[in-house]
A and B are shown apart, each in its own frame.
Chain A
Amino acid sequence: MRDTFLAEAEELLEQIGDNLLRLEKQPQDSEVIDSLFRAFHTLKGSAGLVGCEAVKVLSHGLEDVLDDIRSGRRQVDTVLINRLLSATDVLKEAVAGAATGEAPAAEEIDGLLCTLREGAAGEDRTTPREPAWHGTDGECRDLPLMPLPVRLDLLQAVLQGRQVVFIRVKCCQEIFYRGLDPLRLFQSTVEAGGARFLHLAISGEDLPGPDDFDPERCYVAIEACLQLPVEPGGLLEQLEFIRDDADIQVFPVSVPMLFAAGLVTGRTVTEAGQLERVKQLVAGTPWPEDRESLTAKLDELVHVGLVVAGASPCSGGVACYFEEAILLGRLLRQCLERGTPGAGSDLNRVVEDVKNLICEYLDCHGADCYPSLPPRTAAEDLLRLFFPGDSLQPKPGVVLPTGEMKAGPLSEAAGKTSSPALLRSEMLRVDSKKIDKLMELAGELVIIKNSLAYWMRLAQNAIKDQEQAQALKEQQLALAKVTREIQEAVAGVRMVPIGQVFHKFTRFVRDASVCLNKEVDLVFQGEDTELDRNVVESLYEPLLHLVRNSLDHGMEPPEERGQAGKPLRGTLWLRAYHEGTRVSVEVEDDGRGIDVERVKAKAVAQGLLSVEEAIQLSRQDALALIFRPGLSTADNITEISGRGVGMDAVISVAHGLGGSVSVDSVPGSGTRIKISVPLTVATSRVLIVRAAAVETGITMDDVEKIVYLTREQLTGMGKVKLGNTQNSTVPVLSLAEVLGLPGVEAGEEYRVVLLRNGIGVQVEAILGDEDMVIRKLPGEIGELPLYKGAALRGNGKVLMVLDSKYFKGWLGHGLYRQS
């Protein structure tokens, strides 16, 4: 339960962060405001379910602010956005604390809430609030505590479109001295206003202990649910008479408000025989499929439920969802009678889902029991399914303005909400470790499949019966096909959009820009591009370094941009796109570009290069110097960057992922840095080659093509040759020599593997290719730069897989040796 909460909270917090930044740009966007409100509301509810008080309290405070914004009582400005962002940061800490047990201090939360409220008070000075008539749905929490028969009646009334309000009258303590009986006064006022009592109760939650109790002071509050008359103005006029003596809060009652939002305690229906009777009714026999019989079945459920609830003793303390089950049954019955599930929803499926939930609620009683879906959420989802965009949609926290009563305000945004939990029933939230394990097993399956293929080849000649041989061959091919499909399917599960990482930079770019006094627009391109989750997560750190550097060093301040004739606002692009089996991720800015001479000078000054080497360096190689450890062109170390430890980390992570990094920069126009990574890091297609009787592998991602060159096409340059292919001339290395082994004379034809990095590798034989799981080797052998790692082949032997980058280094070394 807690894990689910943490996962859900993480998603919500990301969504909140994005929407707050969007709100800053579009303060009037009601969709964003509604979305933020819902996110805080959901977070509050979920936190309540798992008992995470800090998150609940803070979410509630933030929800109040959003409610003020939504109702126009508060204006959005940068100060408010900063406060909301800071509060969201603390909210993140509180969520993280739910996992580690280190919640933010209560004082910190109180302080934040005070700050948030301060702004509201400032608004109040210019926009008078009507305190007597306002409140939030949080104060309507008593509705689910009402007796089941009352809740069923209220549900019925609201679903019939009647204007039902919850009203709470809290009189001043001195009212008895005025010779008034508030209860009688309230009753007569309501009746005179033409409203009808659906429920009336006295709440004693503010009643003090015996020592502090003064019997001549009024402590209790009157709570009622009223069905309003067609013209509610008369009631308002009547209530005006008691407004001076009482704080009056009025809320329109919506269907979801009648359902418990969180943990339900204080009602127990555990008497085995009675409960079994209801359970038997729900789960004991199949539910009919036609609407008429279904509604009859649900009527019976409610009837029996009422009998059981009435007969069961009330005792507090532990959770029990019995009444929620009955109420949900009634709601489904009303939905069936009045509506049809929206497009794309199958009625039988919805009924089945609700039935399962009812069963779950019936089983959910005892200490610390939590259902998978809170009753209020279930009710909201059911309403969205049956009445999308209808007035039955909930809009929690909406209050009735003075003099203008209207029932059940529409929540347009609620209608737009996608994927409610009932619809989400086909989705499954799975621990990523389980997917990783599945991927690992799929990798093992690949190894076994390869092994089987190897042994099958050896055994083919031994099988005399051709039919048997053919059958075995077919089964082996089928296994290979299914294995590949399994692997692709599991890999597909792990694919996530890179936008998940991109969006994390929205806040960072905003805050860093403010810190650096720069104006920067962040633009995402190709954020839907999917790649392996592990790759996506690994890319965050290198992208952070690149974005930091762009903002700090690349992007000019507005005045400098103005002088250069550029727009005052700079643009930073985060871009992703497919390139074959790889994905390229780019960070580009329209800043000042990289000063190559300055980079060279810094490298020389830091002893990374000699002056001569610096002069001979090509522009591209000079640009690549920025990835050298410790090299920073920044004169000052700032909070953002400048320590020279970031860019080499970019290279390191990219290489760790089997990727590469390239840089392109135009002085005065900007810089683009590209990280190219494989789609997935699970398995690789490996070309198996032989040189000096040793078999090694080269990943197909590194291979451009395989060519056969004649002796004439290879011109000697000592130990490094140049190979003349159709289109170009490339340096060709002997793999045997690179491995330090005596090579075999090739004869007239040379087999050369042309790598993507522009180097040819001469081998003695090409032995084929296989899907392999490449693993890093532990210990010293894993440190050897020649190898990416090792893979287990079908024949059970270990194949060392070469790192193509090593050849480039070796080539430089070889040329140096010759010169």
Chain B
Amino acid sequence: MAFTVRANELVLSDSFNIEQVKECWSDLKATGLQELRLLHLKELNSIDLAGSQIVFLVLRECPGIQVILPTNTQVIKLLGLIGLKGGEG
């Protein structure tokens, strides 16, 4: 599973792309976007622009969210394009 939405937590892993974004967004809205406290990206190995939009929106709507950065350097680089840094968003 490329994503898991739990209480206060969004976990993205493996490949998160256009194929998953609709379902992921639906889950997030159902859980409550404002409730998110942790964005877990450690296992994320690839992400496309559609996936990045979700991350972008989460970071924008949840200013104090804690982010666990991915280990994949390509993904780090890619998410760096939207100004993502480790620690608190």
- Residues of A in contact with B (beta carbons under 8 Å apart): 176, 179, 181-184, 200-202, 204, 207, 210, 213, 215-216, 218-220
Contact = CB atoms under 8 A, between A and B. Distances in A.
A204 B60 contact: yes
B25 A215 contact: yes
A766 to B, nearest CB: 86
Residue among B24, B49, B78 with max Cβ neighbours from chain A (10 Å): B49
Contacts of A213: 25, 57
Interface residues of B, number: 22
A218 B50 contact: yes
Contacts of A184: 48-49
Contact of B53 (A179, A200, A201, A219): A219
Interface of B: 17-18, 21-22, 24-25, 29, 33, 48-50, 52-54, 56-57, 60-61, 78, 81-83
B52 A202 contact: yes
A28 B70 CA distance: 58
Contacts of A202: 49, 52, 56, 81-82
Given A201-B81, A202-B49, A210-B61, A220 B56 contact: yes
A210 B33 contact: yes
Contacts of A200: 81
Given A210-B57, A216-B18, A216-B21, A182 B81 contact: no
A207 B56 contact: yes
A183 B48 contact: yes
A224 to B, nearest CB: 9
A201 B83 CA distance: 8
List of 5 A-B pairs having minimum Cβ-Cβ separation, nearest first: A215-B21, A215-B25, A181-B48, A183-B49, A202-B81
Given A183-B48, A210-B57, 13 more contacts: A176-B49, A179-B18, A181-B18, A183-B52, A183-B78, A184-B48, A184-B49, A202-B49, A202-B56, A215-B50, A216-B21, A220-B49, A220-B52
A220 B53 contact: yes
Contact of A176 (B50, B54, B57, B61): B50
Contacts of B56: 202, 204, 207, 220
A218 B61 contact: no
A442 B60 CA distance: 63
A210 B25 CA distance: 9
Contacts of B81: 200-202
A218 B82 CA distance: 15
A182 B49 CA distance: 7
Contacts of B29: 210
Nearest to B61: A210
A183 B47 CA distance: 11
Contacts of A182: 49
A220 B8 CA distance: 26
Contacts of B50: 176, 181, 215-216, 218
A202 B52 CA distance: 9
A215 B22 contact: yes
A203 to B, nearest CB: 9
Nearest to B58: A210
B21 to A, nearest CB: 4
A201 B81 CA distance: 4
B69 to A, nearest CB: 17
Contact of A204 (B17, B24, B78, B82): B82
A184 B77 CA distance: 13
Contacts of A215: 21-22, 24-25, 50, 53-54
Nearest to A210: B33
A216 B52 contact: no
A219 B61 CA distance: 16
Contacts of B53: 204, 207, 215, 218-220
A216 B48 CA distance: 12
Contacts of B49: 176, 181-184, 202, 218, 220
27 contacts: A176-B49, A176-B50, A179-B18, A181-B17, A181-B18, A182-B49, A184-B49, A200-B81, A201-B82, A201-B83, A202-B49, A202-B81, A204-B53, A204-B57, A204-B60, A207-B53, A207-B60, A210-B29, A210-B61, A213-B57, A215-B22, A215-B24, A215-B54, A216-B21, A218-B53, A219-B53, A220-B49
A202 B51 CA distance: 12
Contacts of B48: 181, 183-184
A210 B22 CA distance: 13
A184 B49 CA distance: 8
A707 to B, nearest CB: 90
B66 to A, nearest CB: 15
With a 10 A CB-CB cut-off, give which of B18, B60, B83 has the most chain A CB atoms. B18
A213 B22 CA distance: 10
A202 B56 CA distance: 9
B42 to A, nearest CB: 21
Contact of B57 (A181, A183, A207): A207
A218 B48 CA distance: 11
Contacts of A201: 81-83
Nearest to A200: B81
